[in-house]
Amino acid sequence: MASKFADMLIDLLLKKGVKEIEPKLDYDYGVSYYESLGISRDDFPNLNDILIELERKGILKGTKVGTIPTCPNCGSHKLILRLLCPICDSPNIRRVEAIHHISCNFTAPSDMFSSGEILRCPNCGKPLRAIGVDYNKYQNVIYCENCKRVSISPKLIFICSDCGESMSEGELDLKPLLRYEVIEERLLKPSLERAISEGLERRGVEVKHPSEAIGASGLTQRFSLSVKGGDSERFIDIVESSEGVGEEKVLALFGKLFDISAKGGVLVAIPRATQEAKTLAKSLNIEI
């Protein structure tokens, strides 16, 4: 049974003629589809769950367009990045320009080489001559205040702000980020089923939606809906096919009706039934 919010969303997709639902990365919720749909969290508190429900029903088709890194321990996407010295793991680092003195193989921040007008190596005491000859310069490298060593890049550590776990980049879970495509012909059916059953109910007809009955075969036969009038019950199937609903749907309904010994039934075809289906239905006492 569709949830109330799923029904509301189906109506909204139909009304707005939505074709695609785009994801947006969101600090609070990880991924948000509210912006794409132009709706608010108050109207649809669990939108992500509703979208998953509609995808399961084939009304939406999800395509992976990216990933959201999440905590492998609790699933949270609220990760705080920390940069550490890759040699001693100290967080006490800074970004510097560094000089590598080739002759004595010493590397340190450039400001430690300054000595008046000239550059002098603080390790061996020799003056530096020319870049590329006896020394090299590196931009944006990491200097550790703790172990006094220079590294090309820091070690990345992620701390989960929900459970406190810390992890390396390689330990993060990568959740798929989905864009949803609306399958229009699938969208029509549930809203039509609802509209028909609500319309009938308003006229005081007793409607079951969905409806099922146990047949002579012992199988449970399922129908989109059924209406009760007096002591007889009429079974209605709603089927959709972009090429036109064909004879096989008429036969399927007939088979089910026969099994439960119903007098006749109604097939609602979206957007229409083929001529062959109509002819067959007539001979089987099925209304289209």
Distance, CA of 225 to CA of 242 (rounded, Å): 22
Distance, CA of 162 to CA of 71 (rounded, Å): 9
> Stretches 20-28, 41-49, 86-94, 222-230: which one binds Zn ion (CB under 5 A)?
86-94
Among 71, 142, 187, 257, binds Zn ion (CB under 5 A): 71
> Stretches 4-12, 47-55, 162-170, 253-261: which one binds Zn ion (CB under 5 A)?
162-170
Nearest distance from residue 137's CB to Zn ion, in Å? Answer: 14
Q: Does 90 help bind Zn ion (rule: CB under 5 A)?
A: yes
Which CB atom, from 124 or from 152, has the smaller least distance to Zn ion? 124
- Enumerate the H helices of the chain as residue ranges: 4-16, 34-37, 47-56, 184-202, 247-259, 275-283
Q: Does 174 help bind Zn ion (rule: CB under 5 A)?
A: no
Q: Does 104 help bind Zn ion (rule: CB under 5 A)?
A: yes
Q: Which amino acid is at 41?
A: R
Binding mask 24-63 for Zn ion (x = CB under 5 A): ----------------------------------------
Nearest distance from residue 16's CB to Zn ion, in Å? Answer: 36
Q: Does 147 help bind Zn ion (rule: CB under 5 A)?
A: yes
CB 60 within 8 A of CB 18: no
With the CA atoms of 110, 111, 113 and 115 taken in that order, what torsion angle do they form, in degrees rounded to the nearest 10? 150
Q: Does 101 help bind Zn ion (rule: CB under 5 A)?
A: yes
Among 5, 26, 68, 76, binds Zn ion (CB under 5 A): 76
Among 106, 173, 240, 270, binds Zn ion (CB under 5 A): 106
Which CB atom, from 79 or from 266, has the smaller least distance to Zn ion? 79
Pairing of strands 173-182, 20-21: antiparallel
Q: Does 160 help bind Zn ion (rule: CB under 5 A)?
A: yes
Q: Does 110 help bind Zn ion (rule: CB under 5 A)?
A: no
CB 264 within 8 A of CB 283: no
Q: Does 88 help bind Zn ion (rule: CB under 5 A)?
A: yes
Q: Which amino acid is at 165?
A: E
Q: Does 166 help bind Zn ion (rule: CB under 5 A)?
A: no
Q: Does 173 help bind Zn ion (rule: CB under 5 A)?
A: no
- Could you count the other beta carbons within 10 Å of the beta carbon of residue 120? 16
Which structure tokens are listed for 128?
A: 């530096």
Residues that bind Zn ion (rule: CB under 5 A) add up to a total of 21
Query: What letter would DSSP give residue 126?
Result: P
DSSP for 51-120, please give it: HHHHHHTTSEEEEEEEEEEE-TTT----EEEEEE-TTT--S-EEEEEEEEETTTTEEEEGGGGEETTEEB
Q: Does 163 help bind Zn ion (rule: CB under 5 A)?
A: yes
Give me the residues that bind Zn ion (CB under 5 A), please: 71, 73-74, 76, 85, 87-88, 90, 101, 104, 106, 121, 123-124, 144, 146-147, 160, 162-163, 165
